[in-house]
Structure 1
Amino acid sequence: MTAPTEQLDRWRRGEEHLGTALGRLTDEEFDGPSLLPGWTRAQVLAHVAHGADALAAHLTEARTGVAQQVADDLAGLPPAELRAAVLAATQRLAETVRAVPDDVWSAQVRTGEGHVVPAADLPWLRAREVWVHAIDLDAGIGFADVPDDVLAAVVDDVFRQWDARDTVPDVALFAGDREWGTGALAVAGTLPAVTAWITGRSDGAGLQADGPLPTLAPWL
């Protein structure tokens, strides 16, 4: 298996997007609420840094066969140190990805959620994380700032997750010429609005539907 070029590109663009959001935050804003209920911005950033190191550990283990340890509990760091920790973790991940030979992308790895996936799936798991959490930082970046190909891939991912848990809502979801689901309730809107709703980042404001919008199962 060769490197997953499309997903690596989405990941790289996502890391740049997250960096833009991080750069907009002042140190005083780190302890403020994010758009994730109950999470501060510092907690989101600590989660993102931990995620980068976890992915690097998975890729290193796939390449070397040696299990890696990942540091945790970064949310309590002062803002300047947490900012540096996020950037350092991102750099470590980039260096790890560059060291992965083509044949290793087919290796099976176990994710933090316990799923066994090919290493080639990992860049997308990181891409969806950084694109969405950049929005969660509430730094003036929204779903309308995310490229359509990434938004559509996120919606695809949500439906895959729901399908795996048998929690697909009874909807047919439309965004432009794209369609998901075969349910009885037709729901339509722009791709950013649709993505915000099904990822639990909006209540569906701005969407059009044949009836009341359902309560959606969690995505992740």
Structure 2
Amino acid sequence: MTEISNDQLLERLKAAADNVGAKLNGLADAEVVVPTELPGWTRGHVLAHIAHVSTAVARQIEYALRGEKIEFYDGGQGGRVQAIEMNAGHTAAEHREYISTAMTRAFLVLDELDESQWTLPVSYRDGDVRGVALAYWRELVIHLADLQLGRGPESWSKEFCLYLVEFLSARVPEGLRLKLLPLGLPPLSVGTGTRTVSISGMLTDIAAWLAGRTPTLGSLRAEAAADSVALPTLLPWPSALAAK
């Protein structure tokens, strides 16, 4: 995909945050405890995770601006799990407040970045501030779909799907090459193996499958040597710190 500028990325982030906020406005307490497709997670777990990620993004950038690095989650992966479990049972109003406060903190630092500061080093994936912002975009868009509140993968933009395909190419197992055939769009290729499997379907469904989510607009078709085959088993997410 054509790389978006830092200003464009910030616009996409704000739109994603607005979408999350809009879906939370009418959320009732009974809806918070509804299970999601993520194993063992209710909507409350997803909401707690969104808030926790927002805080993690803010502190990565805050420390980077001071010339320091800090682990992504306070307390590492153990702290991440503990924070989610502790806050998953909040009421809808508490989740709204928790997320609003965390997002405000994140965008306070994102809004003040000058062009040079987007390249400051951070601990997350041994990358930079821009990489953290891209991760935040992924988290907000994908986890909003996980909430199953009317904005599923079918609402993902072409731009986001193409970015996700590129990012998640690391999930293609060694020895395998996926020829992606999104309907109405040019073919894409991910993976460098000698065995080729073609995957055809809507672009949003292909991106959802690569992200470990359920396609929503139709079934994906996989073929190898002109024969129908099962969809390949993908590797874990590219980072231990990526979303569930």
Coarse TM-score class (shorter-chain normalised)? 0.7 to 0.9
Note the C-alpha offset of 1:178. Answer: 4.1
Unaligned stretches of 5+ in structure 1?
A: none
Q: Indicate the percent of aligned positions where both proteins have the same amino acid.
A: 26
Listed one character per residue, the Cα deviations across residues 158-215 of structure 1 (whole Å, up to 9, x for unaligned) are 11x336xx65744211212141326511111111111111111127951122222122
Equivalent residue number for residue 159 of structure 2? 149
Q: Which amino acid aligns with 2:220?
A: L
2:146 partner amino acid: D
CA 1:167–1:79 in structure 2 vs 1: closer, same or farther (change >3 Å)?
farther
AA aligned to 2:135 is L
**Matched length:** 212
Q: Residue 153 of structure 2 contacts residue 208 of structure 2 at CA under 8 Å; is this kept in 1?
A: yes
Name the CA shift for 1:167/1:86 in 2 (closer, same or farther; >3 Å).
farther
Distance 1:61 1:168, change over 3 A: farther
* Conserved? CA contact 2:204–2:215, under 8 Å: no
Are 1:131 and 2:138 counterparts?
no
Matched, 1:43 2:45: yes
8 Å contact kept, 2:178–2:190: yes
Deviates more, 1:44-53 or 1:87-96: 87-96
Is residue 177 of structure 2 the alignment partner of residue 180 of structure 1? no
Q: Structure 2 length normalisation: TM-score?
A: 0.78
Off by >6 Å, runs of 4+ in structure 1: none
What is the alpha-carbon distance in structure 2 between the residues aligned to residue 36 and residue 110 of structure 1? 27
Larger RCO of the pair (alpha carbons < 8 Å, separation 6+): 1
Q: Which residue of 1 aligns with 2:114?
A: 101
Given that 1:144 and 1:192 are in contact with CA atoms closer than 8 Å, whether structure 2 keeps it comes out as: yes
* In 1: Cα distance, 2:106 partner to 2:33 partner: 26
Q: How does 1:57-68 map to 2 (within 5 A)?
A: 57-65=59-67
What residue number does 2:233 align with?
Answer: 215
SS of 2:117's equivalent in the other structure is helix
Separation in 1 of the partners of 2:203 and 2:175?
Answer: 19
What are structure 2's unaligned runs of at least 5 residues? 224-228
Q: Deviations over 1:53-94 (max 9, x none)?
A: 111001111112356785934223332112210111111111
> Aligned-pair distance for 1:24?
4.6
1:192 aligned onto 2:204: yes
2:115, 2:90 → 1: CA distance?
A: 37
The residue identity in structure 2 corresponding to 1:42 is G
Judged with a 3 Å threshold, the aligned counterparts in structure 2 of structure 1 residues 168 and 10 are, in CA distance, closer, same or farther, namely farther
Q: CA RMSD in A?
A: 2.4
